[in-house]
Structure 1
Amino acid sequence: MNVSEQLLDILKNEGVKHIFGVAGDALNPLVTAIGEQDDIQWIGVNHEGNASYAAFAQGELGENFGVCASTVGPGALHLVNGLYNAKKERSPVIAITGQVPVEHLGTNYHQEADLTKIFDDICEHQAVIRSPEEAPRVISRAIRIAINRKCVCRIELPADIAKMSAKNQNFVHKTFRSSSTLVPNQNALLQVAKAINEAEIVGILAGAGCRNAKTIVLDFAKKLKAPITHSLRASDIFDHSTENVVGLTGLIGNPAGYKGVMKSDLLIMLGTDFPYTDFLPDKTKTVQIDVRAENIGNRTAVDYGLHGHIKETLEALIPLCNEKLNSEFVDELVDSFKSWKKSNTKKADPSRDMEPLHPHIFARLASDHASDAAIFTIDTGTAAIWASNFMNFHSDRRIIGSFNHGSMAVGLPAAIGAQLQYPNREVWGLIGDGAFNMSLQDFSTAVKYNLPIKIIVFNNSQLGFVKIEMEEAGLAPNMDALDVNNFNFADYAKLCGGDGVRVTHAKDIEDAIIQAKNATKPFIIDAVVTNAELALPPKIGFEEAKGFGISKIKELAKAINGDKRQWENIKQEIEAYFD
């Protein structure tokens, strides 16, 4: 047994089923070992960046860690963005990278890169193997840290050591996985309960840290007559048909979610490091509960902090809290949220047959027809707006994306990772055309492994979210910089061996969604949509209104001076708004 085979045995013992990567010199012994067994499958991708996003998806969705691999310097560098995404989403991932032979380290050898420095800001721990004797111990340590801290760790395997005979096999054993929980002390709980009991109007801002605590958070909210505003990552925890839930706040939120946070006497933040300080109150008394002590007070001033897991902390806190009797605040916001949802349903009605099409019609119909256990990978950009505002992630549905890192091109590779991990669940990707163009080379990987992923590409021939950013900043959109030149994505799907349909008429949208749902091979819906759909935050301040107004004046001036594309943009925005 060589060191590569020993590494593979350790991964087998931990239940790893897939390793995503691109084969190459330093990895060849490991890839060879994988080919000689059946427990772990090598998933060869066309770009290492997509391997790291796929591994992120498996770490995010399952009870185990995802694994990606690359060869020396250049290949390892391609892993960076997907791994940084895993770091920001706190998803456990092991990255295996090759390295030049030990004797050449530090000599500026061919393809040599100082990977320890490069990955220092990404990885919680790096297991740099420098001898067969230490290999099993440092490999196991990296896995323990990735699992128990929910983070990214890297294993560096030099090309010469990869082929050496394995040592210290007695250190190969099952990794310890902590099941401990953390609860604050009684004095801290009593102080928070006193603040809650004295408050008249309580609001809750809940994040992904509530994933295993949904039921008790709902019980807490009902007892306190508190509306639940949630983060984007928590959209599949506090779905939009759940009692007391009033949706999102922030740039892609709604008025009820915004008021739930900003208009309460006491705000309780549960398992969230919500980053948008403009959408957090600066004078409201605030309680924050989080298992990561460093998050408490990170975004806004906190009067009371509780360091603990959400479920266990609330189990101890709820009996100390008096039940609130006045439900006017939560009732008002729930009614407002229902009206907002009803308005969105009308906006996303297929009878609105303007062409190019309204993008949210696709999102709404995908939500209507997808299974109750569907997994949705949501790319960064306007796709996240249409998904969060026009879909409902109820039942056992899950959403994943680059919600903290904000990187484009996560949707397709994450869908591949998700479908491999859960072959019997529907996997849908909602992806903008800009993001899809960055990762489309691995649609053929989905075909290769016969993965029936369903991809909706919002084809508006533009970097739509960047346009919004330009307008908010008071800039006239630079159409040359925003333009995305697309081909027919449905034809591309068929060229790769999958299937697809291009949709240009509203009457065909639902049939396309059903066709994708029933597809047994990778499927692309090429959704030809308008780039003129406005997406406004729940509250527009003076600076935002000023920026948007200045932008429109500049656009109109350019249009009057003969800029046909600016004139066409203004016309489409007016048509989209009044259709």
Structure 2
Amino acid sequence: MASKKNVCEVLLDSLHVAGARQLFGVTGDALNPLLEAIRGDERFEWIAMRHEENAAYAAYSQAALTGGIGVCAGTVGPGALHLINGLYNAKREGVGVVALTGQIGHKERSTNYHQEVNLEKMFDDVCAFQAVINSPEQMPRLAQIAIQRALIGREVVRIELPIDVTEEPVPNLRKHYHMVTEASAVVPPQSEIERAAEIINKGKKVAFFCGVGCRDAKDMIIDLAKRVKAPVAHTLKGKDIFDYDDGPVVGMTGLIGNPGGYHAVRDCDVLVMLGTDFPYEWFLPDGPEIIQVDCKVENVGRRASVTVGLVGTVKETLERLVPLVQDKSDDSYLKTHVKWAGKWLESMDKQGSLENDGEPLHPQLFAKAISDHAASDAVIAADVGLSTVWIARQMRLKGGRRLVGSFNHGSLGSGLPSGLGAVATDPKRQVWALCGDGGFGMAMQDFVTAVRYGWPLKVIVFNNSELGFVKMEMEVGGYAYNAEATHLVNPDFAEYAKSCGGDGVRVERAKDIMPAIKAAIDSDKPFLIDAIVTAGELVMPPHVSVEQAWGFGMVKIKEGILGLKGDHKQWDNWKEEIKAAL
């Protein structure tokens, strides 16, 4: 018997089985039949975004927070292409996103038709699978393949909907239909687990380095670290899993890490890497024995020379490893690094104290105040740039707090749309988007989307009128301050938020920080804090080499010479940096 459901309706059935309920996108021509199918389907909500890239970031955020899939959509040609950057972020973060794209009719293909783009070629690198629906009969099977890969494989997939196919009825639905919705655990061979246990048992200075793959195994890791007296360092993506209050946790390594985390990883004789593909190999040691546990074989040994590589999910691998590991009594290595981390944490709290009230304000004050007063289960959406530094150093994400952002792809402008995806997932959950002025400026058109749907998103814009992180990168690379490239001319962001129908406040004095944060928390509208902060804040890594110190000094000499030649913006830059340091 012929089905009465068309291609779009069958697609929605498959998405529903996989747990999707919202679609973020911008509609048009080829997607209009999909919107018509959604109109009469109470299972789904279409979230009308103002830019497709933001839709893809929102879908990423939803997938990251729920462990399910996110769905985004763009129509033919340019609408589909706008999705790509946000989809690359989903790919790099390892979450499952289904991108729905329209396409021109078949008879117009290869004629240079209006908005014609070969989307298969354009999406080939970002998508693990592309389901091009050329006939109605293909929809049930190809949709299942694509959605299962997104949900179970944590991959980005695309389903192409040509305008001349989308309204066609699907002639035969499959009699037996089962969508795989539960991922399987992966366990390494027992012999390799035993090898890893032998190495840990022989180690005198064992350290753990943990990433986002440890989310289901935190308690087991902390208990094992206590038994073997191992400091636990973690990546930025692991910050909402591990906290300094968790006994042996010593925090992050890397450029924005701290001395406790840096030296715990660098100075050990056995390093156990759990669920991390940390990309900065120069922060990893090359001398000690390294055990790496990861569910993806391509991650094992990619960054460092590994003694034992265990391909498995962290929780299930540790369940078999832990009984084989012997307790240790010497806790001197652990105590040293916990002490270093504690001293560093005290200094970060001091930097963020409201008593540190010099003007322009230090951005750390806002980050710490939000950390101290945000809800215990708040979602923090991080933009790329210096705002990420303040989250890493001044914020605590213990308890039920979560962190989303563009950590591997590193795309400016991701903070606001990641926050939108989070608040769309659960409007009752407190969500903060922490953005730089450069990042917010790239995505600010979708602040009005939060207004449209009545989402009480909290946004802070660290407004220093600079691409601050780029400025720092220039100086680290030996280049003098270049105001023409990094200086920004900004509007009053608080007034912009009000003009969109939300609310906001501009903060220039330390005494106004807490009232602004309280107003944001209490507001039932989207609320923006325009935080006027110094552009002179210097970010110091946990370890400064002689070469780095020399290079930074030479940059300052170059800037002085340029200032003497009449580039007065160099003196302004120096004044900002000196004021921030005092």
TM (normalized to structure 1)?
0.98
CA distance in 2, matches of 1:484, 1:171: 60
Q: Quick one: which of 250, 273, 276 aligns to 2:277?
A: 273
Conserved? CA contact 1:474–1:549, under 8 Å: no
Deviation at 1:562, TM superposition (A): 2.8
Q: Over the residues paired in the alignment, what is the CA RMSD in angstroms?
A: 1.1
Displacement after TM superposition at 1:302 (Å)? 0.6
Residue correspondence of structure 1 range 524-535 to structure 2 within 5 A? 524-535=528-539
Partner of 2:456: 452
Q: Is the 8 A contact 1:282 1:300 kept in 2?
A: yes
Whichever residue aligns with residue 390 of structure 2, its letter is W
2:247 to 243, 259, 265: 243
Could you tell me how far 1:545 is from its partner in structure 2?
2.0
1:471 maps onto 2:462 in alignment: no
Give the Å deviation of 1:391.
0.4
Per-residue deviation, residues 22-63 of structure 1 (Å, max 9, x unmatched):
110000100111112222011111111110000001111103
Q: Quote the offset at 1:352 in angstroms.
A: 1.5
**How much does 1:174 deviate?**
4.4
Deviations 1:471-522 (A, max 9, x none): 0011102111001110110000000000000000011111111111111010
Q: Are residue 550 (structure 1) and residue 565 (structure 2) matched?
A: no
Aligned length: 578
Matched, 1:308 2:308: no
Alignment check: 8 A CA contact 1:14 1:174 kept? no
Q: Amino acid of the residue matched to residue 72 of structure 2?
A: C
User: Is the counterpart of residue 399 in structure 1 residue 392 in structure 2?
Assistant: no
2:360 alignment counterpart: 356
1:137 corresponds in structure 2 to: 141
Match among 416, 431, 443 for residue 435 of structure 2? 431
Which residue in 2 is equivalent to 1:575? Answer: 579
Matches within 5 A, 1:123-202: 123-170=127-174, 173-202=177-206
Whether the 8 Å contact between 1:490 and 1:524 is mirrored in structure 2 is yes
Matched, 1:70 2:74: yes
Query: Hey, what's the Cα distance between the residues in 1 that align with 2:161 and 2:232?
Result: 47
Structure 1 Cα separation of the partners of residues 507 and 129 of structure 2:
47
Counterparts of 1:178 and 1:344, CA distance in 2: 41
420-429 or 78-87, which deviates more: 420-429
Cα distance in 1 for partners of 2:519, 2:342 equals 31
2:172, 2:41 → 1: CA distance? 22
In structure 2, what is the Cα distance between the partners aligned to 1:117 and 1:171? Answer: 34
CA displacement, residues 104-163 of structure 1 (integer Å, 9 cap, x when unaligned): 222222111111111111111111111001111101110011111001110001000012
> Counterpart in 1 of 2:89?
85
The answer to whether the 8 Å contact 2:18/2:151 transfers is no
Report deviation, 1:544.
Answer: 2.1
Matched, 1:57 2:58: no
Structure-2 separation of matches of 1:394 and 1:178: 27
The 8 Å contact of residues 269 and 287 in structure 2, kept in 1 or not, is answered as no
TM-score of the two chains, using structure 2 as the length reference = 0.98
- Letter of the 1:125 partner, please give it: F
Which of 114, 120, 129 aligns to 1:116? It is 120
The separation in 2 between residues aligned to 1:471 and 1:128, in whole angstroms, is 47
Q: What does 1:21-40 correspond to in 2, within 5 Å?
A: 21-40=25-44
Does 533-542 or 150-159 show the bigger shift?
533-542
**CA, structure 1 residues 246+171, in 2 after alignment: closer, same or farther (shift >3 Å)?**
farther
**How far apart in 2 are the matches of 1:492 and 1:172?**
53
How far apart are residue 225 of structure 1 and its match?
A: 0.4
Q: What is residue 337 of structure 1 aligned with on the other side? A: 341
Mapped partners of 2:147, 2:400: distance in 1? 28
Pairing partner for 2:384 from 380, 383, 400:
380
1:153-210 per-residue CA deviation (whole Å, 9 max, x = no partner) reads 1000100001212222226844112342111122111111111111100011100010
SS of aligned partner of 1:162: coil
The one of 82, 94, 100 equivalent to 1:96 is: 100
